[in-house]
Amino acid sequence: MDKLSPQQRHKNMAAIRSKDTKPEMVVRRFLWSHGFRYRLNHPRLPGKPDIVLRKYRACIFVNGCFWHGHNTHEGESGLESSDCCKIPKSNTDFWVKKIKRNIQRDDDVKRKLSDMGWYSITIWECQLKPKMREQTLNSLSYTLNYIYFGHQNAPDYTIEEEESMLVAEDLSDGYGMGE
């Protein structure tokens, strides 16, 4: 009946876990229940952002503190540990290289997105722990609204310009994503 070997099943489970990790689900549930609509892992944007809110021109990355080197900084050993990213004592060089590469890639992705006119919002796993969660999510929703109204209230638009811009936005689904 069950054609998967335990190893295969384990692999499948691991793949699913890495895609729908719990911290990301916390963010998605919050966004959805507060009326923010999004899509996942947008294939045409740099870095395939976890969550993309086109209306806000914002990408949200939910980062694991270890893999993405939260609060680490460069030091004598290459990378100094932080409270939420402890570099393992064995195989240190390997981990330092790996985590540094991830940090570099995150920076590159954000720069590319910003060049394309997208906002990047990074949420760290530690910010979604029960004690911090409410504050983090409230500030996320504040940030998104701030971005949105920032566009709406840009000072030099006349009303006519605003209207024609809205029409233009409705028509162009590509929204500057290289179409």
Q: Which residues bind Zn ion (CB under 5 A)?
A: 65, 70, 84, 124, 126
Provide the minimum distance between the beta carbon of 6 and Zn ion in the complex, in angstroms, as a whole number. Answer: 33
User: Rounded to 5 degrees, what are φ and ψ at 92?
Assistant: -55, -45
Provide the minimum distance between the beta carbon of 43 and Zn ion in the complex, in angstroms, as a whole number. Answer: 28
Provide the minimum distance between the beta carbon of 65 and Zn ion in the complex, in angstroms, as a whole number. Answer: 3
Q: Which is nearer to Zn ion, 42 or 70 (CB)?
A: 70
| Residue listed under structure tokens 């996942």 | 40
Provide the minimum distance between the beta carbon of 71 and Zn ion in the complex, in angstroms, as a whole number. Answer: 6
Q: Which is nearer to Zn ion, 34 or 105 (CB)?
A: 105
Q: Which is nearer to Zn ion, 118 or 120 (CB)?
A: 120
Q: Which is nearer to Zn ion, 75 or 176 (CB)?
A: 75
Whole-angstrom CA distances from 58 to 18, 83, 134, 179 are 22, 28, 20, 18
For residues 9, 51, 60, 86, the Cα torsion angle rounded to the nearest 10 degrees is: 0
How is the beta sheet containing 51-53 ordered, strand by strand?
A: 39-40, 51-53, 58-63, 119-124
| Residue listed under structure tokens 């409410």 | 134
